[in-house]
Amino acid sequence: MCGIVGYLGTQNAYDILIKGLHRLEYRGYDSAGVALVDNNGQLNVYKTKGKVSNLEDYCKDKNINGTVGIAHTRWATHGEPSDKNAHPHYSQSKNIALIHNGIIENYLSLKTFLSSKGYVFKSDTDTEVLVQLIEYMMNEHDLPLYEAVYQALTQVTGAYAIGVIEKNNPNELITARIASPLIIGVGKDEFFLGSDASPIVEYTKDVIYPEDRQVIRIVRGKEIEIRSLDNKSLIKPEVKQIQLSLEDIEKGGFEHFMLKEIFEQPKSLSLCMNGRLQREQKEIILSGIQNYGERFAKARRILISACGTSWHAGLIGKYLFETLCRIPVDVEVASEFRYRNPVIYPDDVLIAISQSGETADTLAAMELAKKQGAFIYGICNVVGSSVARLTDSGTYTHAGPEIGVASTKAFTTQVCILAMTALAVAKQMETISTEDYKRIVTELCNIEEKIETILSKTEEVKEISKIFTYARNFLYLGRGFNYPVAMEGALKLKEISYIHAEGYPAAEMKHGPIALIDEEMPIVVVAPRYQMYNKILSNVVEVKSRKGKILAIVTEGDTDIKRLADYVIEIPQTEECLSPLLTVIPLQLLSYYIAIAKGRDVDQQRNLAKSVTVE
Ligand code: G6P
């Protein structure tokens, strides 16, 4: 949700900033802009509505010189996507430019105050208030840039990662953060800012992860200076190494990141299980559970809180923990949980699931549960993210960077971690027999290979997808472990193809959605052969009697549903509790190819953002 980039060094900043914006475009892409201080002391701001490529066109005949600059790709919150609302924003005198990811909550009162002092606002954004406030601090209190930023930040509430530069000060770049991601790259005589490491990795692996409430001054030729926003104390920068490689953030020959990430799933699951799944011994070793398993064993209840696709993974987590560990589980969308004054007991365990580790509502749910004494366990992908920092313990999914806005490999690795965690806890609590434990763990060892088998049927899925591009509505049905998979399949379809789709527990269909079924209506039934098979078979018959077009995801060798369905995709046999790891793959492919057939922009869908850092 908005991406920020910054550079101060010896090279021309523009190229680095534009490349960085392209890498961060997954965070938002309704407008983009860049600000540069050139060698003649000019502060130039160029910004346009639309994608980063529009900005590049716009800048073709402009002065793009300068070795210090900031740039931004936007996902609109305050103010519609437009040239004037794009970042960077100038201050009144045009001496300062600022980029911002986050939200300034008290912008209205600050705007009223600044307006009374003669400041005129050119945009509808909350961000412009901050750059004006910085200028006010400079003028009113005769402060240098760094001090003015510091003083201004003591007046604002909200979330932010910012970058600030000044016309008269081409040797300085100021940045700060609260609750929005920020990484500083440290090169030889050069520094980089990024909302994540992707704009930085090409130039340096040495990075600093600023903590919340830190204000940072980067001065050409000097050591970086970090101060706490609370008491101005000096903080020693801690330089860490990023593990990311350039290959991880490029498409690697695939047409879209989404397709690359779908195909990466065998590898991302391997990385996810690496060192945790002991393939020889058929054991699961999770340090989080080794150290804190007791907390789970004694839990009165597990609460799972997340948003979007991560919430769907959480719904599967409920089936896993209740089936394997016999611990009651409540799963809640974080945005509801945080505001409804939920009952939380100190002996609850809250599992927060998040790919980005930055989703504002998920973080708020964690804080709420933490305040009430619950034990906080995190499952997240981005190392060092806010979710990771807020947990008492947890497990990284190690899926590698997920760039496609529609989440795919993050989902399967989250389900995999939930399965491994539930198995490890069940073993510790002795709620699972040794035989069942070994059998499921053995199946986990085979899961990557089984996903490869499904991926080898991509052409089959592609052909089927062509048949369904006419549809305006889809219904996805599933039961048990595969009911959340039906919801995830429907979400994938609507977010990338803009076709309306609903995921439903198959039997619940009779209480409403059945009214929608006619010969036009495609129904995707997730129906692998497990204990509820006969029940779902009856549901398929009900759909068939109303002439719905059925696409069924079935276990290899199935004959019963095959006879009824119009189209069938087979998946290999596995344990029921692991089946979502397989059944979701054809649904991801189906949505991808339907969206392609409809000419949609698969990696950058309208209105969506990869990481939702505002509530
Ligand atoms: C956004 C993304 C989804 C994601 C959700 C939760 O809506 O587009 O793909 O599932 O946020 O994000 P998180 O990073 O917390 O998993």
Q: How do residues 524-538 score in pLDDT, each as one tens digit?
A: 999 999 988 888 888
CB 590 within 8 A of CB 493: yes
Residue 284, Ramachandran bin (φ over 0: left; ψ between -120 and 50: alpha; else beta): beta
Atom of ligand 1 nearest to the CA of 307: 6
Mean pLDDT of 507-514: 81
> Could you tell me the pTM of the whole model?
0.85
Report the alpha-carbon distance of residue 53 to residue 392 in Å, rounded.
42
Residue 187 sits in the same domain as residue 257? no
Top mean-pLDDT range of 72-76, 339-343, 499-503: 499-503
Residue 103 has pLDDT above 80, yes or no: yes
Residue 607 sits in the same domain as residue 535? yes
Residue 35 sits in the same domain as residue 139? yes
Residue 394 sits in the same domain as residue 441? yes
Kindly give the distance from the C-alpha atom of residue 261 to the centroid of ligand 1, in angstroms, as a whole number. 15
Q: Is 610 a catalytic residue?
A: yes
Find the CATH number of the domain harbouring 463.
Answer: 3.40.50.10490
| pLDDT tens per residue, range 69-95 | 999 998 887 788 888 999 999 999 999
Q: Which of 526, 540, 521, 503 is nearest to 585 (CA)?
A: 526
Residue 614 has pLDDT above 70, yes or no: no
Residue 607 has pLDDT above 80, yes or no: no
Residue 359 sits in the same domain as residue 222? no
Three-state DSSP class for residue 117: coil
Predicted pLDDT at 509: 79
Kindly give the distance from the C-alpha atom of residue 350 to the centroid of ligand 1, in angstroms, as a whole number. 18
Mean pLDDT of 137-152: 96
Q: How confident is the model at residue 293 (pLDDT cuts 50, 70, 90)?
A: confident
Predicted pLDDT at 73: 93
C-beta 385 within 6 A of ligand 1:
no
Instruction: List the strands of the sheet with 301-306, edge to edge.
Output: 329-333, 301-306, 348-354, 375-380, 393-396
Predicted pLDDT at 517: 79
Residue 259 sits in the same domain as residue 111? no
Predicted pLDDT at 397: 96
| pLDDT tens per residue, range 117-142 | 999 999 999 999 999 999 999 999 99
Question: Residue 386: what are its φ and ψ, rounded to 5°?
Answer: -60, -40
Q: Is 232 a catalytic residue?
A: no
Beta strands in 467-521 (DSSP E): 473-478, 500-505
Residue 86 sits in the same domain as residue 114? yes
C-beta 412 within 6 A of ligand 1:
no
Predicted pLDDT at 96: 98
Predicted pLDDT at 481: 96
Residue 183 sits in the same domain as residue 37? yes
Question: Sign of the CA dihedral 391, 395, 396, 399?
Answer: negative
Kindly give the distance from the C-alpha atom of residue 404 to the centroid of ligand 1, in angstroms, as a whole number. 11
Two structure tokens written together for 218:
């980067």
Last residue of one domain, picked from the residues 425, 445, 465: 445
Q: Of the residues 356, 411, 415, which should be mutated to test ligand 1's pocket, given the most ligand atoms within 8 Å of the CB?
A: 356
Report the alpha-carbon distance of residue 178 to residue 160 in Å, rounded.
5
Two structure tokens written together for 421:
């965690």
Residue 27 has pLDDT above 80, yes or no: yes
Residue 293 sits in the same domain as residue 375? yes
Q: How confident is the model at residue 516 (pLDDT cuts 50, 70, 90)?
A: confident
Residue 107 has pLDDT above 90, yes or no: yes
Predicted pLDDT at 54: 94
Residue 426 sits in the same domain as residue 571? no
In sequence order, the 6+-apart residues with CB closer than 8 A to the CB of 539 are: 477, 479, 506, 507, 509, 525
Atom of ligand 1 nearest to the CA of 387: 15
Q: How far is CA 134 from CA 90, 113, 124, 128, 130, in A?
A: 11, 13, 18, 10, 6
Torsion of CA 360, 51, 410, 581, to 10 degrees: 130
The count of domains in the chain is 3
Candidate list 111, 318, 494, 610, residue with the active-site label: 610
C-beta 309 within 6 A of ligand 1:
yes
Predicted pLDDT at 25: 86
Q: How confident is the model at residue 49 (pLDDT cuts 50, 70, 90)?
A: very high
- What is the overall mean pLDDT for the chain? 93
Range of the domain at 101: 3-248
C-beta 611 within 6 A of ligand 1:
yes
Kindly give the distance from the C-alpha atom of residue 397 to the centroid of ligand 1, in angstroms, as a whole number. 15
Residue 205 sits in the same domain as residue 275? no
Residue 180 has pLDDT above 90, yes or no: no
Report the alpha-carbon distance of residue 453 to residue 526 in Å, rounded.
18
Residue 312 sits in the same domain as residue 432? yes
Q: How confident is the model at residue 195 (pLDDT cuts 50, 70, 90)?
A: very high
Concatenating the DSSP letter of every residue in 329-354 gives EEEEEHHHHTTS-----TTEEEEEEE
Candidate list 2, 272, 307, 325, residue with the active-site label: 2
| pLDDT tens per residue, range 158-171 | 989 999 999 999 99
Predicted pLDDT at 386: 87
Neighbours of 375 (CB within 10 A): 22
Last residue of one domain, picked from the residues 445, 464, 479: 445
C-beta 491 within 6 A of ligand 1:
no
Nearest CA residue ID for atom 3, ligand 1: 308
Two structure tokens written together for 396:
């990284």
Last residue of one domain, picked from the residues 397, 426, 445: 445
C-beta 268 within 6 A of ligand 1:
no
Atom of ligand 1 nearest to the CA of 308: 10
- Higher-pLDDT residue of 601 and 432 is 432
Percent of the chain with pLDDT over 70: 99
Neighbours of 113 (CB within 10 A): 16
